[in-house]
């Protein structure tokens, strides 16, 4: 039987989303990328004249990437492949101008979906993508064309004049009278549909778990965008944010799974997990679709639960949360700068818990964890070759860039992406158990825009990124929740690595580490903390250590802080010396930034949570992650 595999994929998604400085356009652009699956479905139904499509049709369906299969049973598979690519790319051209969609096809070498064929399809796609004209070439620049507002593209007539009509979309009068490019106009029109579907999806997912967002979430993207930046039609001073948090989160090892789906499938077969109930469709094809579906559900559920958790921190006010990019295991969210770090940490917790509870994804964590450095090359899957040998959670790395209002989103995104990259280097250190990480940066000065240069300025005077999550105890050890002298009759319980850091923040702020609702009245002197950080920046570690020792002798709060820092990595040696003091004072910049960028009540809420609290992140109990 002859069959053809067809891949349709959006290219340059990040430039397409972040090419505009306007939040509304980014919301709309993100939604346009998700339309690819619908276009493929609708055009395939027209070609095959079948509803629903045969089960053999879908191979992979994720945000911005679709792989399908035509066989002799449907007609001439090669011609069908060509027609589908033509019709879908025409839809992209007319319905989402500026979106770059590429389609390729190959003849399959077997009667079923094969891992080698998928790799060949990827190779053909990459080769073709390098040789084709970019989507920007559709918009020629001439000296006599008016330039679009806030765009490098030429301005176009209004959508009403062009008779552009999509799903009864209603253009905004303010936008229609502005000199905008055609992609900008369409993105802005799609923003309203995107935001409504976004909020509806969050509410539906929370309802399935017995939760509800009590506050009325903003649906109007124009009013929502006004909180983040100037220049919108509706602006209200009371809703304007003082700082903006750009959160980028990327799963660890998911790319490796997708690059070698054959190995992942063999791992699942070895452990004995059934992907679907249909006995006739337990091959690689159904496995890929099932992984796509479950991973998509996990990511969206984690977003919904994190949204709920952050909103519960401040029941009386609405926290603006805007997921801008949700594709595969990648997530980018804009929010109030004070709630960005709590959102990122909550997401990682829920992502780990949801993947651990999924019988299929938990097995894939073995493959995502990587092989041992001394593992031999084999054709078959052997679980002994892998670092993680029991099903467990998938991990993720989060980067949070906290910037001022009106700061360009694309620069903040690049910074958050670099924070993730640096976190991954720590979390996926070769030969160790992979671990989730959280990294953040508070941008005070914008004189340097390159992410590497910006972050390199803080090298050697901060401890971030932080190891957090289920596998953190394997990497950094445990610490008791309560000190023996404070609760001599209580059995010490493991405290999460993140909660330990928050205890240090509480001590730094002059609050009781185990109960931040109570004040000790002795915060660490801020002037001295800033002075020590400055000395570290100047490379004068000796003077910085002297300042620290003076603080220990003269400030009660310094001693309490030092006691909490003993629980944080790197742990001090038995005979404390200059090196140990230097490692402790490198936490000061982290504590300063965390103290000033966390909402009121967060410390008490997060530190005081128990193991059975399902509404938010809980302790990283090593018994929860038996995959050591």
Mean pLDDT, each 10-residue run in order, the chain (628 residues): 92 89 92 94 94 90 92 88 96 90 93 90 92 75 73 76 58 69 89 92 95 88 88 65 95 86 83 53 81 94 97 91 90 96 97 94 88 75 80 95 92 95 92 92 82 85 92 73 36 69 95 92 92 92 93 89 89 52 91 95 82 38 36
The neighbour count for residue 42, using CB atoms within 10 Å, is: 14
**Three-state helix/strand/coil letters over 429-472:** CCCCCCCEEEEEEECCCCCCCCHHHHHHCCCCCCCCCEEECCCH
* Domains present along the chain, CATH in parentheses: 159-233 (no CATH), 241-457 (3.30.70.270), 499-607 (no CATH)
Whether 512 contacts 518, CB under 8 Å:
yes
Query: ∠ CA 464-467-472 to the nearest 5 degrees?
Result: 160
Q: What is the pLDDT of residue 624?
A: 38
| Integer Cα distance of 562 and 135 in angstroms | 56
Query: ∠ CA 528-529-533 to the nearest 5 degrees?
Result: 115
Those residues whose C-beta lies under 8 Å from the C-beta of residue 394, and which sit 6 or more positions away, are 251, 252, 253, 254, 329, 351, 352, 355, 361, 362, 364, 365, 368
Whether 617 contacts 346, CB under 8 Å:
yes
Total residues found in the chain within this entry: 628
pTM: 0.89
| Integer Cα distance of 82 and 4 in angstroms | 10
Residue 518 exposed, middle or buried by CB count within 10 Å (0-12, 13-18, 19+): exposed
Q: What is the pLDDT of residue 153?
A: 80
Single out the residue of 406, 399, 380, 250 nearest to residue 328, CA to CA: 250
Name the phi and psi angles at 516, rounded to 5: -65, -5
Whether 598 contacts 536, CB under 8 Å:
no
| Integer Cα distance of 175 and 184 in angstroms | 9
Structure tokens at 271: 């452990």
Residue 329 host element (H or E): none
Long-range CB contacts (< 8 A, 24+ apart) of 520-523? Answer: 520/556, 520/557, 520/560, 522/555, 522/556, 522/557, 522/560, 523/557
Phi-psi region of 150 (alpha: psi -120 to 50; beta: other; left: phi over 0): left
| Integer Cα distance of 522 and 529 in angstroms | 14
């Amino acid at each position: 039987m002859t069959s053809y595999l067809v891949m349709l994929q959006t290219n340059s998604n990040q430039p397409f989303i972040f090419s505009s400085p306007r939040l509304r356009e980014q919301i709309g652009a993100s939604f346009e990328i998700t339309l690819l699956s619908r276009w493929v479905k609708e055009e395939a139904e027209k070609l095959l004249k079948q509803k629903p499509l045969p089960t053999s049709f879908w191979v992979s369906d994720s945000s911005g990437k679709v792989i399908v299969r035509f066989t002799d049973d449907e007609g001439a598979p090669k011609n069908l492949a060509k027609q589908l690519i033509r019709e879908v790319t025409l839809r992209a051209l007319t319905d989402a101008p500026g979106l770059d969609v590429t389609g390729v096809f190959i003849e399959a070498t077997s009667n079923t979906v094969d891992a080698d064929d998928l790799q060949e399809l990827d190779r053909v796609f990459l080769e073709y993508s390098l040789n084709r004209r970019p989507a920007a070439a559709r918009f020629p620049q001439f000296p006599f064309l008016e330039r679009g507002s806030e765009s490098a593209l030429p301005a176009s007539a209004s959508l009403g004049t062009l008779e552009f009509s999509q799903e009864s979309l209603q253009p905004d009068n303010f936008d229609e009278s502005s000199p905008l490019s055609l992609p900008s106009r369409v993105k802005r029109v799609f923003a309203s549909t995107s935001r409504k579907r976004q909020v509806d999806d969050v509410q539906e997912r929370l309802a399935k778990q017995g939760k509800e967002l009590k506050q009325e979430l903003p649906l109007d993207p124009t009013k929502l965008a006004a909180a983040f930046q100037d220049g919108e039609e509706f602006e209200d001073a009371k809703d304007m944010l003082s700082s903006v948090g750009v959160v980028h989160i990327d799963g660890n090892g998911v790319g490796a799974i997708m690059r070698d789906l054959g190995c992942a499938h063999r791992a699942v077969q070895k452990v004995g997990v059934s992907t679907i109930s249909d006995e006739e469709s337990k091959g690689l094809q159904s496995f890929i679709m099932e992984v796509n579906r479950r991973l998509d559900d996990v990511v969206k559920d984690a977003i919904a639960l994190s949204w709920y958790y952050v909103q519960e921190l401040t029941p009386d006010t609405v926290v603006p949360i805007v997921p801008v990019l949700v594709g595969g295991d990648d997530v980018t969210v804009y929010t109030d700068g004070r709630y960005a770090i709590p959102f990122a940490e909550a997401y990682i917790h829920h992502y780990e818990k949801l993947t651990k509870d999924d019988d299929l994804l938990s097995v894939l964590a073995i493959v995502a964890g990587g092989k041992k450095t001394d593992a031999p090359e084999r054709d078959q899957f052997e679980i002994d070759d892998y670092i993680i040998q029991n099903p467990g959670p998938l991990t993720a790395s989060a980067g949070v860039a906290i910037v001022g209002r009106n700061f360009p989103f694309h620069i903040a995104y690049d910074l958050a992406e670099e924070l993730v990259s640096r976190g991954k280097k720590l979390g996926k250190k070769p030969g160790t158990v992979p671990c989730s990480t959280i990294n953040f940066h508070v941008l005070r000065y914008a004189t340097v825009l390159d992410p590497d240069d910006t972050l390199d300025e803080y090298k050697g005077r901060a401890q971030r990124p932080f190891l957090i999550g289920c596998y953190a105890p394997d990497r950094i050890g445990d610490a008791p929740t309560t000190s023996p002298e404070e609760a001599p009759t209580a059995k010490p319980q493991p405290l999460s690595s993140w909660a330990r850091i928050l205890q240090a923040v509480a001590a730094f702020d002059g609050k009781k580490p185990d109960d931040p609702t109570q004040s000790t009245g002795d915060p660490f002197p801020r002037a001295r903390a800033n002075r020590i950080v400055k000395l570290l920046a100047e490379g004068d570690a000796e003077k910085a250590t002297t300042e620290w020792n003076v603080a220990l002798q003269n400030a009660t709060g310094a001693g309490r802080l030092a006691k909490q820092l003993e629980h944080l990595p790197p742990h001090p040696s038995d005979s404390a010396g200059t090196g140990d003091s230097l490692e402790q004072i490198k936490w000061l910049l982290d504590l300063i930034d965390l103290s000033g960028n966390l909402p009121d009540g967060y410390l008490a809420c997060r530190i005081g949570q128990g193991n059975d609290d399902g509404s938010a992140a809980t302790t990283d109990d090593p018994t929860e992650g038996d995959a050591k």
